[in-house]
Amino acid sequence: MRVLVLGGTREARSLADRLVFAGDEVVTSLAGRVARPQRPVGEVRVGGFGGVDGLVGYLDAEAVDVVVDATHPFAERISANAAEACRRAGVPLLRLERPGWSTRPDAGTWHWVDDHDEAAGVAAQLGERPFLTIGRQSLHRFVDPLREHRCLVRVVDPPEILLPVRWTVLQSRGPYPLEHERGVMADVDVLVTKDSGGDHTVAKLDVAAERGLPVVVVRRAGTPTGVSVVAEVETAYAWVRAQPAR
């Protein structure tokens, strides 16, 4: 099988491992937004496809048999493009997405919001030292509402914009153990995050629960219409192996 994995997540790397071991030809596509990404086994390409038309052309030119969209739950544009491109190219598509955190016992106490602008506005009313764990690409949405707050910002790569002088930037990459998060969050009074799911960064939610901190969570946008979704790597692997070659 010739498999295109839209990657960048731990699930994508695990799936590539399984498929390459089984003898499939796997190309993992990375967006290129992280300076030092963790590279999966198999072939790797970095950068966009040029929208839906470019992805359709790639699928045809490379004779791709199936596509697995295993991008981050908030990589909405590429997921939408993949759904349309695969429909037009007649290529089977599966969405591999880790479950979110909405089933946690404390999730009902969180401040759920629909986008980053709303998250910034809510956080501004809840505390003076928010802990922003929403990624560097969305930081510009928080600058004006939280300019006078003493924000702690955690990112993998350095921010590309000028941040307020009162903000502190913490550059690091997970996973984050519980004791680590207790130290990092010792002085914050509100947590702002996205419903990313998984266990790499879940400890911050445990610390927030321990300390009774308010939590602001950006909801997921949802999967494009008509795309099947699975949560487990093994399920995605079985789906790929069951598809006929083009």
pLDDT at site 40:
85
The domain that contains 202 carries what CATH number? 3.40.50.720
Same structural domain, 143 and 209? yes
Check: CB of residue 22 under 8 Å from CB of residue 241: yes
> In this structure, what is the dihedral angle of CA atoms 69, 74, 76, 79, given to the nearest 10 degrees?
0
Which class for 225: exposed (0-12), middle (13-18), buried (19 or more C-beta within 10 A)? exposed
CA 89 → CA 54, 73, 82, distances in Å?
Answer: 11, 24, 10
pLDDT at site 70:
97
> Token digits for 118?
């709303």
pLDDT at site 33:
66
Same structural domain, 35 and 92? yes
Positions of the chain with pLDDT lower than 70, given as ranges? 32-36
Mean pLDDT value across the chain:
94
Same structural domain, 111 and 205? yes
- Which of 132, 110, 131, 122 is CA-nearest to residue 217? 110
Same structural domain, 210 and 236? no
Same structural domain, 225 and 199? no
Same structural domain, 199 and 113? yes
Same structural domain, 77 and 128? no
Residue 211, amino acid: R
DSSP helix/strand/coil, 204: helix
Name the residue range of residue 53's domain. 2-99+221-242
What are 154-183's pLDDT values in tens digits? 999 999 899 999 999 999 988 999 999 999
CA 146 → CA 89, 138, 184, 216, 241, distances in Å?
Answer: 45, 13, 20, 14, 49
H/E run at residue 86: helix 76-89
pLDDT at site 34:
62
Number of domains composing the chain: 2
